Amino acid sequence: MPITEFELIERFFKRKPTRTREIILGIGDDAAVVRAPAGYDTVIAIDMLNAGIHFPPDTAAADIGYKALAVNLSDIAAMGAIPAWFTLALSLPDADEAWLAPFSEGMFALAAQHQVDLIGGDTTRGPLSVTIQIGGWVKPDQYLPRAGAQVGDRIYVSGTLGDAAAGLALLPQQRKDSAALHLVTRLLRPTPRVALGQKLVTIANACIDISDGLTADLGHILQASAVGARIQQSAIPISSALHEAVTNPLEILRYALAGGDDYELCFTVPAAKVPQLENLRNQLDCSITQIGEITQSPGLQWVSVNGDVTRLAPQGFQHF
Amino acid sequence: MPITEFELIERFFKRKPTRTREIILGIGDDAAVVRAPAGYDTVIAIDMLNAGIHFPPDTAAADIGYKALAVNLSDIAAMGAIPAWFTLALSLPDADEAWLAPFSEGMFALAAQHQVDLIGGDTTRGPLSVTIQIGGWVKPDQYLPRAGAQVGDRIYVSGTLGDAAAGLALLPQQRKDSAALHLVTRLLRPTPRVALGQKLVTIANACIDISDGLTADLGHILQASAVGARIQQSAIPISSALHEAVTNPLEILRYALAGGDDYELCFTVPAAKVPQLENLRNQLDCSITQIGEITQSPGLQWVSVNGDVTRLAPQGFQHF
């Protein structure tokens, strides 16, 4: 006899909430009831991962569970908000317990790190697809928009770029060297920069998470802010693993600029606040690198290592 | 050249918010920012509709758009909350504008009726699937839970039962008589009982919306409240259209008890508050019918038209 939706929720998805003051009514009713802390607004994001589009169909269930939550936490990070709760809409070919157990473990392991509670969801039969909607808290007017970049702002990115795209390219090769394993882990288990985002709230003018590739996502900031940018090739942070695993420098550059799935933050900081940001470095759990600056001239100017200036078109992950 | 996700959102999904005080930041950033009215909690529900599971693959796009939002509004209604905003995760085989235009029209027509704003979403290529998450407001401790039913409560349902299930059975026949058309419309365009739910907040002890069938959904109230129920067959509200379109009385009964997709409310009211509820009748835009009462004895007792008492097993829509 197949497992019912009710049993499935009880077995795999019902956990004691950690945010007991904020989660008034959790899983198991027609809807959940949550209460933002006094004086906070609520931040809402939703992201969907489809098998065969966002991850190879044979990806380990634990990694899918982890990543579905990670990409949503990354949206919360990009807003500078405090993640609080999430809901899960899960479409599955069948209610396979051997899949559900590691899926929920992967998801809840990351949830515990960030103290976010699963408060509701919907499960149904269908092609494998995971949609998570996440909620978080932010003080009024203290979120990080895309539209706030000002001419003269310094442009930063967190971590290193291109790792996930290289990981995706390396995946079929099943290489066991540590560089390749690192890149594949960056693809399957991206680190949402939640702590960094919260620290940027009083420092950065604009922020986005890099899900579709640096040029595409920085392009969103530029378009929303009606500004341009100049980026220094020599400043783009590339991991030693990427240098080690991929020898062709053009390929590395393509991964770093147009590869998606890095889930690093790209943000702009007014020159006056750069010292404040630099002072933070020691308190951060990730690197931050200045890669260029915001210009009045629209579009994206690319300064190559030998000083040539070209214009880049935004080319990132196309959803259709 | 195919439409990009950005163009698709601009063209089909970006509308001016109506709740301008509550929607601080709408579509177009990494996340939206919303603000509950002072002193209100936030109610959150999520529902997913997959082609071939929740609707026939050839269902009109406008009906899919309408229904995806309607089933979510129904969850908000079942909580007694005020609907406020929603997000949309849309998986589509391709970005077909001839499909997207009526889909968004169907969805926004219902959204306008209830003053709910689309605040964000995610679109991606994949099998046709629509997930909406909805948010609403409710005063602290004034939501309608499943778990509140008390022995002696009268059990009510709104509207009529079984119409949608009959509509689903009739769909392939493409009948053009008004009874059949009414039942198919009830399937494709269910009416979320939002106004009723809000009025019940100070009257009802427990409430659920009937998505999986009366016995299954009333069963959820009974289980959550640790009580039983006695239901009178003669009291079950059946539409004249259902009587007209379906001649077999056993079939009618099966649709009414075990058919899903009605999205009527089932709620329990303490005897002392029945007069208060009855006084509401003239203010309601739907009928309400008392069908039985809550009992100490667990399970569901069924009193047939000739007075026989049997026990019913909950049989509703199985998600797997």
Supply the angle between the helices B163-170 and B178-188 in degrees, to the nearest 10.
110
Pair B34, B87: CB distance under 8 Å: no
Helix, strand, coil: what percent of chain A each, to 5?
A: 35, 25, 35
Count of domains forming chain B: 2
A307: left (phi over 0), alpha (psi -120 to 50) or beta: left
Contact A320 B127 (CB under 8 A): no
In a domain, residue A172? The reply is yes
- How many Cβ atoms from other residues are within 10 Å of residue A234's Cβ? 10
Residues present in chain B in total: 320
- Tell me, what's the pLDDT at A87? 97
Number of Cβ within 10 Å of residue A178's Cβ equals 11
Whether residue B147 has pLDDT greater than 70: yes
pLDDT band at A3 (very low <50, low <70, confident <90, very high): confident
pLDDT at A4 over 90: no
CB contact under 8 Å between A33 and B143, yes or no, is: yes
What are the tens digits of pLDDT across the range A214-232? 999 999 999 999 999 999 9
Q: Are residues A79 and A202 in the same domain?
A: no
Question: Which residues 281-310 of A have a C-beta within 8 angstroms of B?
Answer: none
How close does chain B come to A6, measured CA to CA in Å?
A: 9
The DSSP symbol for A240 reads H
B213 closest CA partner among B166, B174, B161, B173: B161
- Is the pLDDT at B315 greater than 80? The verdict is no
What's the pLDDT score for residue B160?
98
Residues A236-277 pLDDT 10s: 999 999 999 999 999 999 999 998 899 999 999 999 999 999
Assess whether B129 and B163 both reside in one domain: no
DSSP string of chain B, one letter each residue: -PPPHHHHIIIII----S-TTTEEE-TTSSSEEE-PPTT-EEEEEEEEEEBTTTB-TTS-HHHHHHHHHHHHHHHHHHHT-EEEEEEEEEEESS--HHHHHHHHHHHHHHHHHHT-EEEEEEEEESSSEEEEEEEEEE-TT-S--STT--TTPEEEEES-SSHHHHHHHHGGGT--SHHHHHHHHHHHS----HHHHHHHTTT-SEEEE-SS-HHHHHHHHHHHHT-EEEEEGGGS---HHHHHH---HHHHHHHHHH------EEEEE-GGGHHHHHHHGGG-SS-EEEEEEEESS-EEEEE-TTS-EEEE--------
Rg (CA), chain A: 20
pLDDT of residue A320: 56
> Is the Cβ pair B138, A33 closer than 8 Å?
yes
Is residue B288 assigned to a domain? yes
Q: Assess if residue B237 is contained within a domain.
A: yes
Rounded CA-CA distance B118/A156 in Å is 31
Tens of pLDDT along B228-273?
999 999 999 999 999 999 999 999 999 999 988 999 999 999 999 9
Residue B184 and residue B170 in contact, taking contact as beta carbons nearer than 8 Å: yes
CA distance B36 to B24: 10
Co-location of A165 and A125 in the same domain: no
- Among candidate residues B108, B138, B168, the one where a domain is terminated: B138
Q: Are residues A192 and A163 in the same domain?
A: yes
pLDDT of B318 higher than 60: no
d(CA B250, nearest CA chain A) in Å: 26
Pairwise CB contact (< 8 Å): B320 & A145: no
- The CATH code of the domain that includes A224 is 3.90.650.10
pTM for the whole structure: 0.94
Query: Under an 8 A CB cutoff, do A320 and B46 touch?
Result: no
Q: Which of residues 204-243 of A touch B (CB under 8 A)?
A: 207-209, 224
Confidence band, pLDDT 50/70/90 cuts, at residue A319: low
Q: Both A200 and A125 in a single domain?
A: no
Residue B5 forms contact with A (CB below 8 Å): yes
Closest CA relative to residue A276, chosen from A205, A218, A227, A193: A205
- pLDDT > 70 in chain B, percent: 97
Of B30, B127, B146, the CB nearest to A45: B30
Q: How far is A8 from chain B (nearest CA, A)?
A: 10
Contacts of B133 in chain A (CB under 8 A): 46, 87, 89, 133
- Tell whether A88 is within 8 A of chain B (Cβ): yes
Please list every residue in chain B whose beta carbon sits closer than 8 Å to the beta carbon of residue A125.
Answer: 50, 53, 319-320
Smallest Cβ–Cβ distance between A94 and the set B54, B124, B320 belongs to B320
* A143 located within any domain: no
A-chain CB neighbours of B224 within 8 Å are 28-29
Which of B141, B198, B212, B320 is most worth mutating to test chain A (most A CB atoms within 10 A of its CB)?
B320
Q: Which two tokens stand for residue B238?
A: 């059946």
- The answer to whether A264 faces chain B, any CB pair under 8 Å, is no
A319: in domain:
no
Closest CA to B198 of B133, B267, B252, B149: B267
By C-alpha distance, which of A83, A204, A203 is closest to A147? A204
Cβ–Cβ contact A246 with B under 8 A: no
Nearest Cβ partner of A42 from B36, B81, B145? Answer: B36
pLDDT at B6: 77
Which B residues 89-128 touch A at CB under 8 Å?
89, 91-92, 94-95, 119-127
Same domain, A134 and A245: no
Residue B70 has pLDDT above 60, yes or no: yes
Q: Which domain holds residue A125?
A: 5-138
Residue A318 confidence (pLDDT):
55
Within-domain flag for B37: yes
How far does the CA of residue B49 sit from the closest CA of chain A (Å)? Answer: 8
Q: In this predicted structure, what is the pLDDT of residue A187?
A: 96
The predicted model gives B58-80 an average pLDDT of 97
User: Which of A104, A138, A172 lies at the terminal end of a domain, its last residue?
Assistant: A138
* pLDDT of B163 above 60: yes
How does DSSP assign A100-160, residue by residue? HHHHHHHHHHHHHHHT-EEEEEEEEESSSEEEEEEEEEE-TT-S--STT--TTPEEEEES-
pLDDT at residue B255 in the model: 96
Asked if A138 reaches chain B (Cβ–Cβ under 8 Å), the answer is: yes
d(CA B255, CA B249): 10
Is A81 an interface residue toward B (CB < 8 Å)?
yes
| B4: nearest CB among A121, A138, A318 | A318
- Arithmetic mean of pLDDT, B56-81: 96
C-alpha B301: how far from chain center: 25
d(CA B263, CA B207): 12
Chain B residues in contact with A46 by the CB 8 A cut-off are: 87-89, 120-122, 131, 133
- What A167-171 contacts at long range (C-beta under 8 Å, 24+ apart), as own/partner pairs, is A168/A259, A168/A261, A169/A255, A170/A245, A171/A56
Q: Are residues B177 and B122 in the same domain?
A: no
Given a cut of 90, is residue A311 above it in pLDDT? Answer: no
At residue B309, the pLDDT reads: 92
Tokens of B299: 């399970």
CATH number at residue B12: 3.30.1330.10
Contact B126 A53 (CB under 8 A): yes
Tell me: do A172 and A232 sit in the same domain.
Answer: yes
Taking contacts as CB-CB distances below 8 angstroms, the residues of chain B near A89 are: 46-48, 89, 131, 133
Model pLDDT, residue B3: 75
Closest CA to A229 of A283, A312, A290, A292: A292
**Could you tell me the CA-to-CA distances from A296 to A16, A159, B206 in Å, in that order?**
51, 27, 59
Q: What is the pLDDT of residues B268-278, one digit of tens each?
A: 999 999 999 99
Same domain as A303, residue A235: yes
Same domain, A246 and A283: yes
B76, B104, B138 - which closes a domain: B138
In this structure, the answer to whether residues A292 and A196 fall within a common structural domain is: yes
Residue A145 falls within a domain, yes or no?
Answer: no
Q: How far is B151 from chain A (nearest CA, A)?
A: 20
pLDDT of residue B260: 87
Cβ <8 Å between A124 and B36: no
Residue B192 touches partner A, C-beta closer than 8 Å: no
Of A41, A46, A120, the CB nearest to B120: A46
Summarize pLDDT for A171-216 with one digit per residue, the tens.
999 999 999 999 999 999 999 999 999 999 999 999 999 999 999 9
Q: Which of B130, B123, B136, B119 is nearest to B29 (CA)?
A: B119
Q: Chain A partners of B316 at a C-beta cutoff of 8 Å? A: none
Q: For residue B250, how many C-alpha atoms fall within 13 Å in the half-sphere facing its CB?
A: 0
- Whether B144 maps to a domain, the answer reads no
Whether residue B15 has pLDDT greater than 60: yes
Is the Cα torsion angle A154, A156, A161, A164 positive or negative in sign?
negative
> Residues B276, B198: one domain?
yes
